[in-house]
Chain A
Amino acid sequence: AQTVTQSQPEMSVQEAETVTLSCTYDTSESDYYLFWYKQPPSRQMILVIRQEAYKQQNATENRFSVNFQKAAKSFSLKISDSQLGDAAMYFCAYLSSNTGKLIFGQGTTLQVKP
C-alpha cells in the first residue's frame, strides 16, 4: 500500500522569505501523480501544484516549485517570496494509478510572519 509522510507538522517563514516543505512517499507503482494542496482556514482544499511521475522536469507554478526526486521518493514544495496569504495547512498527496484514490500526508501548518 502507498503511504505519504510529511515530517514537519508546523513550519514558519518570514514574509518575502523562502520556505521548503518536505514530503516522502512509498510506492511500488511506476506511474502516478503527486500533488500539493493548500487548505486555508476557510477549509476549501486548493490545488497548488502537480507533478507527473514520468516527467523528470520539476513542476513550477509562479512562486511555487517542487523538487521531485523519484528514486528517493521525495517531493518537496518550495514557496518563494512568501506572502501572508500563503498561511495554511499544506498537504502532500499521491494519486494511485491503480486505485485512482488520493492518499494524503498528515499535513504541514505553515505560518507566515509579517
Chain B
Amino acid sequence: KAGVTQTPRYLIKTRGQQVTLSCSPISGHRSVSWYQQTPGQGLQFLFEYFSETQRNKGNFPGRFSGRQFSNSRSEMNVSTLELGDSALYLCASRRQTGGTGELFFGEGSRLTVL
C-alpha cells in the first residue's frame, strides 16, 4: 500500500514568487492536512481538507491557501513568498476527519526562499 506522496521534495524560490506543493494521500484516505515545520516555530498546523472542503485553518496569512480534488489529492499554494516561508511542509492523510484516527505523514517538501 503506497504511503503519502509529496512533490516536489525540494525546491528553491525567490522572494515574491509563488509555489504550489502537491500531496497524494494513502488510498482510501479522504482527509489531508498540511503542516509547516521550522526550527524556530516547530510544527504548525496550516489547514485540513476533507471531501474537497476546508475543514479547519491554522493561524497563517491569506498567502497560504489550499484545495482538495475529488480524488482526495491536495495542493497548497503560497503566494508572494517571504524569506520566513522557508520550511519543511508536511502533508498528512487519514481516513476520516474530526477527533479520531492517526495521521500518516509524507516525506515533506523542503522549500527554500532566497
Chain A residues with CB under 8 Å of chain B are: 31-33, 35, 37, 42-47, 50, 91, 95-107
Contacts and interface: CB of A to CB of B under 8 A. Distances in A.
Nearest to B31: A100
Given A43-B88, A102-B33, A107-B42, 15 more contacts: A33-B99, A37-B105, A43-B107, A44-B107, A44-B108, A45-B92, A95-B100, A95-B102, A95-B103, A97-B100, A100-B31, A101-B45, A101-B56, A102-B43, A102-B103
Contacts of A35: 102-103
B10 to A, nearest CB: 11
Contact of A91 (B43, B101, B104): B43
B108 A101 contact: no
B56 A104 contact: no
B103 to A, nearest CB: 6
Contact of B99 (A42, A97, A103): A97
A98 B88 contact: no
25 contacts: A31-B99, A33-B101, A37-B105, A43-B107, A44-B106, A47-B102, A47-B103, A91-B43, A97-B98, A97-B99, A98-B99, A100-B48, A100-B55, A100-B56, A100-B99, A101-B33, A101-B45, A101-B48, A101-B58, A102-B43, A102-B103, A103-B45, A104-B42, A104-B43, A105-B42
Nearest to A98: B99
Nearest to A105: B42
A106 B42 contact: yes
